[in-house]
Amino acid sequence: MLSTKNMTAGSGKVKPVMDAGNQVIKINSLSLDKTPYDAEKFNITLNVETEPIDGEFEGFLKDTANPNGPRYSGQVGRIRFTPYPYANTTLDNGREIKREDEILKSMVFLAEVLDKRTELDNIQANTIEEFIASCNKIFSNSGYFNACVAGREWENKEGYTNLDLFLPRLSRTGVPLEALNAEKSRLLTFSKADHIVELKNKKTQSTQSFEPANAVGDDFDL
């Protein structure tokens, strides 16, 4: 069957970076990252990989310092666990949102998707940084699962639009992550209208190729 999914216009090859949409992925690693604009706000970043891609596909190098080393067998991507950073805040109704509690709830959700709740509950940590470091050991390379991946458009220095990937919020309408063998699926169905935050005031760029001149660029560092 012919398909243009994941193909770039310039090369015709399947790109090594994953896109937004309904995906089957696994976690290579996860991290807790302070935002560059506020050290009190955190993101949980999932470094993920899709299922292996057959055919003429060349994934990014696993070690950029070794050009002859192994490559990822699937597309890779960085996905923030939530649309917005975790932060301590007070809602208009007076309810207090505690950053650490929200992070722990997210890890409970992920553990239940991956059937790792027992391992998660056995973690004992003094700080949230220590807790997430233990989560990384538990969840990394723990198998594939279904995901609905959303994205926020941003423009790079060359004027091309990229996607900052994140998971949609868990809600009554569905869940962003789900086990492959879920009996009654509640996985969100990707919709561009609902799950892509478009860049405002996009500039139309005239080029001879749909790829930037240095599209070969640096390999994806996971």
Token readout for 103 is: 């992070």
pLDDT at residue 7, as a whole number: 54
pLDDT at residue 210, as a whole number: 32
Please name the residue ranges forming H helices in 71-191.
Answer: 99-113, 117-121, 128-139
Give residues with Cβ within 8 angstroms of 204, minimum separation 6. Answer: none
Token readout for 155 is: 């423009």
Q: What is the mean pLDDT of residues 125-148?
A: 97
101-111 burial, b at 16+ Cβ within 10 Å, e below that, comes to: eebbebbebbb
116 domain-assigned: yes
- Our count of domains for the chain comes to 1
User: pLDDT for 7-54, tens place per residue?
Assistant: 555 555 789 999 999 999 999 999 999 999 999 999 999 999 999 998
Please tell me whether residue 182 adopts helix, strand or coil conformation: coil
| 143: containing domain | 21-197
Please tell me whether residue 133 adopts helix, strand or coil conformation: helix
pLDDT at residue 161, as a whole number: 84
Q: What is the mean pLDDT of residues 124-145?
A: 97
206 domain-assigned: no
Distance CA 145, CA 136 (A): 16
In contact, 196 and 151? CB cutoff 8 Å: yes
pLDDT at residue 180, as a whole number: 96
pLDDT at residue 123, as a whole number: 97
221 domain-assigned: no
pLDDT at residue 162, as a whole number: 87
If one compares 138 and 92, the residue with the highest pLDDT of the two is 138
User: pLDDT for 62-108, tens place per residue?
Assistant: 988 999 999 999 999 999 999 999 999 988 898 999 999 999 999 99
pLDDT at residue 158, as a whole number: 84
User: pLDDT for 152-177, tens place per residue?
Assistant: 998 888 888 889 999 999 888 899 99
pLDDT at 222 over 70: no
1 domain-assigned: no
Query: Where residue 214 falls among pLDDT bands split at 50, 70, 90?
Result: very low
Among candidate residues 144, 148, 143, 41, the one with its CA nearest the CA of residue 99? 41
Share of the chain above pLDDT 90, in %: 68
Token readout for 140 is: 């990394």
pLDDT at residue 159, as a whole number: 83
Share of the chain above pLDDT 70, in %: 85
Amino acid at 25: I
Residue reference for tokens 């789900």:
178
139 domain-assigned: yes
For the chain, the 3-state helix, strand and coil shares in percent, each to the nearest 5, are: 15, 30, 55
pLDDT at residue 200, as a whole number: 82
217 domain-assigned: no
82 domain-assigned: yes
Query: Where residue 213 falls among pLDDT bands split at 50, 70, 90?
Result: very low
